[in-house]
């Protein structure tokens, strides 16, 4: 009885915490309107948009085309690849031919060939060398934006203390179970987690879409400092804060296009992200288990089915409603049948949460490595 009551209490606490996160996100997103209204003055700075590419992401061409329609900023787009044979460059050149007015450039650099390195950081290093902007805006190749999204995001730099600004982002276009799980994870965990961290004045930077001033980048030693860091985005955010600049979360939501994923690939990605957070802080990571009330409800029911038989149903309904609120507040456009997968997501998250305690190995972009403290990339031990 005591065990079932213990699990039931953990489920109640987790349900309260995740509900608070959803409400905080809804309130945070309400700040987007005055944020967007402050678009004046964006023409005063020049922005270099750094777009690392590696292979073909879902709807890559449409993603790139969205950057030909930007308004309110003076900018260039630097597409950075490791080799000329990368199939992403064929798409990039087609977009450049179809939209000759768009200020696109291509940079190809093999980067370092010694040891284990973060290949995205290598792409950023090469792009930054060619960039001329006062602000460097990092944008992954699976990101799609609206015409005013970047101008609205850069409004944060009106505050002279700002050194780094990152966006909220949600999954877009999911058609398979794996893509749905990934989109739900972004919506139900990544988005409210970033808002909660910002509320607590803690840097939480995801490099899917983030900007850094050249002054701040120079102060932290450039992208070269993060060549062997897997989570270069969060490490950059922490370094910017340590250098005396403000790290800002923008309420502007951009789209991470994820259409076709296998469930295994979606789970593997989640496990890799978990290992990254575990490497930064074991204690904070362990506390994340409290964000999974559905699993505790299931355990309470298993321990005392007669007493807590309805608890998983109640918690599942509340979790789905939480995701529905997040879906509405971020305009993520997930359908109800996709939101109904939330209980399955919670079970997957419980499994993924446990993995980092037993393994620090990652496979990413074609190579294997181990993750050290602060997500330092270490040689893979056979």
Domains defined for the chain, CATH in brackets: 2-26+282-379 (no CATH), 37-266 (3.90.550.10)
pTM of the model: 0.91
Percent of the chain with pLDDT over 70: 93
Per-residue pLDDT band for 45 (boundaries 50, 70, 90) equals: confident
> Per mean pLDDT, which of 36-40, 242-246, 372-376 is the most reliable?
242-246
Q: What is the pLDDT of residues 67-110, one digit of tens each?
A: 999 999 999 999 999 999 999 999 999 999 999 999 999 999 98
CB 349, CB 189: distance < 8 Å = yes
Burial pattern 296-327, b for ≥16 Cβ within 10 A else e, equals bbbbbbebbeeebeebbeebbebbbebbbbbb
Q: What integer pLDDT is reported at residue 187 of this predicted model?
A: 96
CB 144, CB 209: distance < 8 Å = no
Per-residue pLDDT band for 113 (boundaries 50, 70, 90) equals: low
Q: What integer pLDDT is reported at residue 40 of this predicted model?
A: 47
Q: What integer pLDDT is reported at residue 37 of this predicted model?
A: 47
Per-residue pLDDT at 32 exceeds 90:
no
* The token pair that represents 179 in the structure block: 């893509």
CB 222, CB 128: distance < 8 Å = yes
> Per mean pLDDT, which of 36-45, 97-106, 304-313 is the most reliable?
97-106
SS3 at position 6 = helix
CB 162, CB 248: distance < 8 Å = yes
DSSP H or E run through 178:
helix 177-185
Three-point CA angle 366, 370, 372, nearest 5°: 135
Neighbours of 80 (CB within 10 A): 27
SS3 at position 319 = helix
Per-residue pLDDT at 38 exceeds 60:
no
* The token pair that represents 121 in the structure block: 């950081």
Cα dihedral sign, 348-351-356-362: negative
Cα of 374 vs its chain's centroid, Å? 17
For 159-184, what is the mean pLDDT? Answer: 94
Q: What integer pLDDT is reported at residue 374 of this predicted model?
A: 85
How many residues are there in the chain? 382
Kind of pairing between the strands at 361-364 and 367-371: antiparallel
Q: In what order do the strands lie in the sheet with 377-379?
A: 361-364, 367-371, 377-379
Percent of the chain with pLDDT over 90: 78
Q: How far apart are CA 37 and CA 30, in angstroms?
A: 13
């Amino acid at each position: 009885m005591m065990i079932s009551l213990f699990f039931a209490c953990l489920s109640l606490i987790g349900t309260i915490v995740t509900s608070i996160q959803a409400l905080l996100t809804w309130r945070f997103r309400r700040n987007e309107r005055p944020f967007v209204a402050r678009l004046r003055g964006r023409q005063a700075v020049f922005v270099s948009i750094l777009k690392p590419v590696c292979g073909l992401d879902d709807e890559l061409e449409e993603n790139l085309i969205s950057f030909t329609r930007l308004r309110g900023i003076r900018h260039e787009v630097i597409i950075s690849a490791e080799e000329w044979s990368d199939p992403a460059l064929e798409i990039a050149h087609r977009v450049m031919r179809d939209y000759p007015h768009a200020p696109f450039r291509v940079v190809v650099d093999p980067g370092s060939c010694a040891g284990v390195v973060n290949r995205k950081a290598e792409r950023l290093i090469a792009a930054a060398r060619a960039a001329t902007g006062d602000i460097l805006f990092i944008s992954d190749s699976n990101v799609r934006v609206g015409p005013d999204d970047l101008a609205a995001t850069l409004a944060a730099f009106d505050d002279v203390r700002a050194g780094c600004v990152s966006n909220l982002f949600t999954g877009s276009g999911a058609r398979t179970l794996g893509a749905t799980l990934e989109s739900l994870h972004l919506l139900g965990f990544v988005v409210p987690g970033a808002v909660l961290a910002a509320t607590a004045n803690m840097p939480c930077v995801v490099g899917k879409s983030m900007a850094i001033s050249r002054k701040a980048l120079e102060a932290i030693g450039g992208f070269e400092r993060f060549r062997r860091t897997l989570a270069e985005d969060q490490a950059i955010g922490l370094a910017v804060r340590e250098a005396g600049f403000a790290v800002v979360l923008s309420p502007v939501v951009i789209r991470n296009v994820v259409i076709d994923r296998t469930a295994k690939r979606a789970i593997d990605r989640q496990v890799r992200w978990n290992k990254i957070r575990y490497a930064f802080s074991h204690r904070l990571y362990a506390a994340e288990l409290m964000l999974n009330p559905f699993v505790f409800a299931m355990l309470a029911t298993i321990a005392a089915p007669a007493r807590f038989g309805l608890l998983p149903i109640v918690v599942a309904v509340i979790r789905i409603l939480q995701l529905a609120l997040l879906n509405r507040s971020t305009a993520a456009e997930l359908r109800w049948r996709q939101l109904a997968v939330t209980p399955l997501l919670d079970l997957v998250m419980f499994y993924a949460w446990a993995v980092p305690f037993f393994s620090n190995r990652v496979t990413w972009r074609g190579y294997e490595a181990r993750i050290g403290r602060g997500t330092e990339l270490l040689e893979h031990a056979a």
